[in-house]
Amino acid sequence: MAASGTLRAMPLALPLDAHLHTDLSPDAAVPLDAYAALARDREIAEIAVTDHIDFVAGEPAYRFADYERRLRMVRNAAERWAGEPAIRLGLEVTYEHAVEGVIAEYLREHAYDYVIGSVHMSSRGPFRNADTAAAWCAGKTPREATAFYFDEVEHAIRSGLFDTIGHLDFVKRYVQPHLGPFEHEPHADTYDRLLRALIDSGTALEVNASGLRQEPGEPYPGPVVVERFRELGGERIVAGSDAHRIEQFAFGLPDVYRAIGEAGFRELTFRRGGTGTHGRTADRVAIELSRELVAELVGGET
């Protein structure tokens, strides 16, 4: 069950929502201008449109919207809204190790401002519906049921293709109904492996609010993992609501910022375009969390 209180008013103006889906995603139906209007109203300074793309035939976002259509929609909206909010051309890639080369070629040939790499639940996989999920989880521990997912996430991180990794432990949404809450401690070594890979590769950790409206009732990943990332030396972090419906815009975003602030981070790492000389890690910008925002989020400590 989703956590309560996550729709409370913005504590102060927030600088960024880096994960939004419009009607150019097969599982969303929101016109971009609707998000922009809400962002202006709620004083969210910058948004990234990160519609889905799949690279395996038969998956929902395979050839759903071409690059020129994505580019035209976002650039035209950015011009209309004149920086209030700033609107960036993003992309959420469904990562599968088997098609990593195809993904790499696509990203070389198409210029996006910001790219998320995410492991999703394939229509060919064990979590494609409730019955197959129940069958997969039967007789397994949470660790056994999720090992394949986290291995794929590590491949995504080490590919070096992405600015950030989306919803790091999204799989807990699918195992929790069958195996109970996904606890951190039994999986601490798995999380450390992934967090160290993020640090080694220079890839940012996304703190994704969608888990607050889903079964886990906490972001992906939860605050304890965000704190651990900081302890291990993680420096690059970003926040996103992962909205697919208009009522999901900014849902839980203050909670995500709170987890980031309480872990000791004082800036987000984002990317506004460019390719640089070191893959997608170049041309990044630091978005400072203001002292006032931090004080509001973490109870006066700045």
User: Does residue 2 register a pLDDT over 70?
Assistant: no
Whether 41 maps to a domain, the answer reads yes
Distance, in Å, from the CA atom of 176 to the CA atom of 171, rounded to the nearest integer, reads 9
What pTM was estimated for this model as a whole?
A: 0.93
Q: Which stretches within the chain are classed as H helix?
A: 32-41, 67-81, 100-109, 130-137, 142-159, 172-179, 188-201, 223-231, 253-262, 291-298
Longest dimension (CA), the chain: 55
260: Cβ contacts below 8 Å, ≥ 6 apart: 207, 226, 237, 239, 268, 289
Whether 12 maps to a domain, the answer reads no
Q: Going by DSSP bridges, is the β-strand pair 267-271/284-288 parallel, antiparallel, or unpaired?
A: antiparallel
Whether 11 maps to a domain, the answer reads no
Whether 6 maps to a domain, the answer reads no
Output the domain CATH number for residue 146: 3.20.20.140
Contact 193, 124 (CB under 8 A): no
Whether 165 maps to a domain, the answer reads yes
Mean pLDDT, all residues of the chain: 92
Whether 268 maps to a domain, the answer reads yes
User: Does residue 128 register a pLDDT over 50?
Assistant: yes
Whether 8 maps to a domain, the answer reads no
The model's pLDDT over 37-79, given as tens digits with 9 standing for 90+, comes to 999 999 999 999 999 999 999 999 999 999 999 999 999 999 9
Domain count, the chain: 1
Tell me the sheet residues that pair with 20: 49, 243
Whether 239 maps to a domain, the answer reads yes
> The domain containing residue 173 runs over which residues?
17-298
